[in-house]
Chains A and B, each alone.
Chain A
């Protein structure tokens, strides 16, 4: 039995909690609830022949007043950088967070998520920006559910493959 700790990070209001709720409970709530500290959920998934328990740490979004507590990411197997496609600033914040996490905890598997795909016509983040980074990216909509499961399973598969090659999580 494998268990993996996955952290959701990103600017405030990008849809981290909504993505987790959509993935775990198949629910989307239009109302916005800000996360205080951290909220933990679990989801059992099967990838190939392997069963994995994903422990999803939904960490409070970073804003001008509250900084991301990197200690919550300690010993995580991977993390999900969530970006609100409608806010270019959230992409810059994701880039900044990624650098900070790498500096503090070393290189960890992660994926970039462009959320709010249902509002694609309002997106400010351009595909050229993503290509420039060269990071594995997914487009999701917590509202419609599109791409959500693929994104989580994609990261879980990546973690599994790294597990089988014997790479442990960075500290």
Chain B
């Protein structure tokens, strides 16, 4: 292309041609020049591409661009993670944080549910049955438990129009107590609106959990409807999935009716079978409650009972030991008893020692203490205690024996004390006085009979008078020697008392003897 200086050097004809060319092509030449400069300038070219890149990518909808970009993006992402992982973590946190929280919450709920079920099932007769079934069927115990122990019961299912809150269909288990389902449906929607308005305000956020006492509410959401179930007990995690699948099927089947819903609920009558399928549950709530109570009773009641039994046994043993201890103490303090050993071997108490025959009977003391005689073995050696009481008792017995051996002899037909017998009075009177004193010291009252006897010869009348007179005379003689008259009684022995027949023996019959009353 000729330049301006070249044009000036051209001959006049050519000059005109060049001027013409300049006039015709000048603007284009400038435009071409501009384009050339633009293409040769890399920064300008980058600016041009940036302006159309987004639109170009959008227009390129086939897979070629994605395939081309994939390795580049992967490499870029890898480089980004290597150089600054925090940036990516910060970017993903809002997504993953929420998802992880939800997953952890669900897992924890599952664990709690499992723990609760395990506790309930570990202490029941039912669990033993399941273990037996597991052995018989060779199924894992956990599988049998899962099959037999779904401790929940879907009592009512509501299909609700999502926007108006109007009840489209409702089914209930036979045993369920239902209140006006239309109002329940409306209130559920109102509660949901309230929670959404109060808490998040976002249209996509849904109320996920409602629980009141034993009743939990399972909620599944679709674009135009809500499927809601009232569940008594602890619902398994897959129940929500079942509800959601049922609702999806209804939404698909009734999409048009739901979208154009204007209050006519009869078009949803054929949804009942689907809703009835949702009335799931195994394990009657009542049985569960009973089982739970039984489990609680077994868990807490049995140890409590054992503790109470142990405590009672301990208290009873202590009381029994205390009674045994009191008994042995009493034996030790008992006059005339010297306990040398008291020990317990097994259930038997072995007690041995020395015992005065006059001392109290240990067996009687045992009975008085209310202790079982079967649990004791006594072994006593006899001895004479020096206790004053026992000495006095023995002296009393001795005096009695001595006195009862004394006798005054009389001649035939006479009631007078023979002279050679008078010395006896001086022996007998002190004996009687000693006897009464000893008896008084022991708190006893003795009575002494003076018994007049006769031989069998003679008439009964004379003999009887003779026997009495002999007794009276001896009594009078003793009274005259200071023996208290009220302690002595004169009596006549009857005829049969002396049946000797020889003369030598008759001497012993003509007598007056003594009998002491009130001494054992």
Instruction: Enumerate chain A interface residues (CB-CB to B < 8 A).
Output: 1-5, 37-38, 40-42, 52-53, 55, 57, 69, 71-72, 74-77, 159, 163, 167-169, 171
Q: How far is the CA of A59 from the CA of B335 in the complex (A)?
A: 99
**Chain B, range 167-218, C-beta contacts under 8 Å to A:** 167, 180, 182-183, 186-187, 190, 193-194, 196-197
B194 adjacent to A37 (CB under 8 Å) = yes
Q: How far is the CA of A120 from the CA of B197 in the complex (A)?
A: 38
A1 adjacent to B266 (CB under 8 Å) = yes
List the one stretch of B36-44, B157-165, B354-362 in contact with chain A.
Answer: B157-165
A42 adjacent to B182 (CB under 8 Å) = yes
B262 adjacent to A53 (CB under 8 Å) = no
**B483 at interface, CB cutoff 8 A:** no
Nearest CB in chain A: distance from B260 CB, A:
6
Contact partners of A168 in chain B: CB under 8 A: 260-262
* Additional pairs, 7, CB under 8 Å, beyond known A38-B194, A42-B186, A163-B263: A1-B264, A3-B263, A3-B265, A5-B164, A75-B161, A77-B164, A169-B164
CB closest residue in chain B, given A52:
B263
A74 adjacent to B190 (CB under 8 Å) = no
Contact partners of B263 in chain A: CB under 8 A: 2-5, 52, 77, 159, 163
**B166 at interface, CB cutoff 8 A:** yes
B182 adjacent to A3 (CB under 8 Å) = yes
One of B161, B163, B265 near A171 (C-beta < 8 A): B163
B182 adjacent to A69 (CB under 8 Å) = no
Ordered by A's residue number, 9 sampled pairs between the chains whose C-beta atoms are within 8 Å are: A2-B265, A3-B182, A5-B186, A37-B190, A55-B165, A57-B190, A71-B193, A74-B164, A77-B164
One of B182, B193, B196 near A55 (C-beta < 8 A): B182
A40 adjacent to B161 (CB under 8 Å) = no
Instruction: Enumerate chain B interface residues (CB-CB to A < 8 A).
Output: 161, 163-167, 180, 182-183, 186-187, 190, 193-194, 196-197, 260-266
Q: How far is the CA of A57 from the CA of B190 in the complex (A)?
A: 9
A40 adjacent to B187 (CB under 8 Å) = yes
Nearest CB in chain B: distance from A161 CB, A:
12
Q: How far is the CA of A21 from the CA of B186 in the complex (A)?
A: 17
Contact partners of A53 in chain B: CB under 8 A: 182
Contact count A vs B, C-beta below 8 Å: 71
Query: What DSSP secondary structure best describes chain B's contact surface?
Result: mixed
Nearest CB in chain B: distance from A124 CB, A:
33
Q: How far is the CA of A106 from the CA of B369 in the complex (A)?
A: 100
One of A52, A75, A163 near B165 (C-beta < 8 A): A75
Contact partners of B190 in chain A: CB under 8 A: 37-38, 40, 57, 72
Q: A1-B266, A42-B180, A168-B260 known; A75 and B164 CB under 8 Å?
A: yes
One of B166, B180, B196, B197 near A3 (C-beta < 8 A): B166
Contact partners of B193 in chain A: CB under 8 A: 69, 71-72, 74
B165 adjacent to A5 (CB under 8 Å) = yes
Q: How far is the CA of A71 from the CA of B193 in the complex (A)?
A: 7
Contact partners of A37 in chain B: CB under 8 A: 190, 194
One of A2, A52, A69, A77 near B197 (C-beta < 8 A): A69
One of A1, A71, A74, A169 near B265 (C-beta < 8 A): A1
A55 adjacent to B197 (CB under 8 Å) = no
A2 adjacent to B264 (CB under 8 Å) = yes
A77 adjacent to B262 (CB under 8 Å) = yes
Nearest CB in chain A: distance from B199 CB, A:
13
CB closest residue in chain A, given B191:
A37
Contact partners of B166 in chain A: CB under 8 A: 3-5, 55, 75
Nearest CB in chain B: distance from A32 CB, A:
22
Contact partners of A55 in chain B: CB under 8 A: 165-166, 182-183, 186
B183 adjacent to A42 (CB under 8 Å) = yes
CB closest residue in chain A, given B261:
A168
Q: How far is the CA of A163 from the CA of B264 in the complex (A)?
A: 9
Q: How far is the CA of A69 from the CA of B193 in the complex (A)?
A: 9
CB closest residue in chain B, given A163:
B262
Q: How far is the CA of A171 from the CA of B203 in the complex (A)?
A: 14
Enumerate the 4 nearest inter-chain pairs by beta-carbon distance, A residue then B residue, closest first: A75-B163, A75-B164, A40-B186, A168-B262
Q: How far is the CA of A3 from the CA of B194 in the complex (A)?
A: 23
CB closest residue in chain A, given B184:
A40
Nearest CB in chain A: distance from B110 CB, A:
34
Nearest CB in chain A: distance from B253 CB, A:
19
CB closest residue in chain B, given A159:
B263
Contact partners of A167 in chain B: CB under 8 A: 262
Contact partners of A75 in chain B: CB under 8 A: 161, 163-166
Contact partners of A41 in chain B: CB under 8 A: 183
Nearest CB in chain B: distance from A50 CB, A:
10
Nearest CB in chain A: distance from B180 CB, A:
6
Contact partners of A171 in chain B: CB under 8 A: 163
Contact partners of A3 in chain B: CB under 8 A: 166-167, 182, 263, 265
CB closest residue in chain B, given A42:
B182
